[in-house]
Amino acid sequence: MSDDHEFEPVWGLPERLPGNERMLWQGSPDWRSLAIGVFRLRAVALYFALLLAWRGASAAYDGAGALDTALAVLGLLPLALLGLGLLAMLAWLSATTSVYTVTDRRVVLRIGIVLSVSFNLPYARIESAALRPLAGGHGDIVLTLAPPDRIAYLQLWPHARPWRLAQPEPMLRSVPEAERVAALLADALAGAADPARVARPDRAPSDRLPSTAAATA
């Protein structure tokens, strides 16, 4: 089985970085966090649990014996496990085929399960960014593009802020160590907006996104 990304000059990037550009961070979504936060695995599991309980209670109410009640519940169990397994597999595939790259000049999203595409987002075209913390130190980082730049929602999903269809906002989903990555991105955005900051060796890295972008998504 061939790897669609084996011919990438640099993992996760469509081309090598120029000599004056530096990679700050690269990573992929955590698939478990993605399964819970994006594919709603827990909510679907709860739905199936309630459905199985209703099936058993209904069978018992109709006068079925213990064995027939158990069989009625078990008859629906494979469907529930199949549905949960498919969602978990989609989350795993989405995570393993996605690579987020943060440099001192741009953010690159390489995404896509069947058809892989890369989106280059220079800092000059990013209007703001925001961190949405998740459990376990993970988090979603939302990027708001400056008008008139726009990427189709379906091209981005699931790496897009939910329900922002008119002006889709790319998201770095379920990023491990999200606060550290957000701090790196905040510092890079600030450096792009004020190049003189790069020359100040005494400046401390920012521990949060810029004040104009600190609102939780």
Q: In what helix (H) or strand (E) does residue 103 lie, and over which residues does it extend?
A: strand 99-103
Class of domain 23-29+98-213: mainly beta
| pTM for this prediction | 0.82
Per-residue pLDDT of the chain (217 residues; tens, 9 = 90+): 335 555 678 888 888 999 899 999 999 999 999 999 999 999 999 999 999 999 888 888 777 777 877 888 888 889 999 999 999 999 999 999 999 999 999 999 999 998 889 999 999 999 989 999 999 999 999 999 988 888 999 999 999 999 898 899 999 999 999 999 999 999 999 888 765 544 443 333 333 343 333 333 3
* Closest of 129, 108, 127, 130 to residue 119, by C-alpha: 108
Copy the structure tokens of residue 210: 């810029």
Copy the structure tokens of residue 106: 């741009």
The residue ranges of every structural domain in the chain are 23-29+98-213, 35-94
The Cα–Cα gap between 59 and 66 comes to: 9
Strands laid side by side in the 99-103 sheet? 23-27, 99-103, 106-111, 117-122
Q: Helix, strand, or coil here: 10?
A: strand
Copy the structure tokens of residue 33: 């966090």
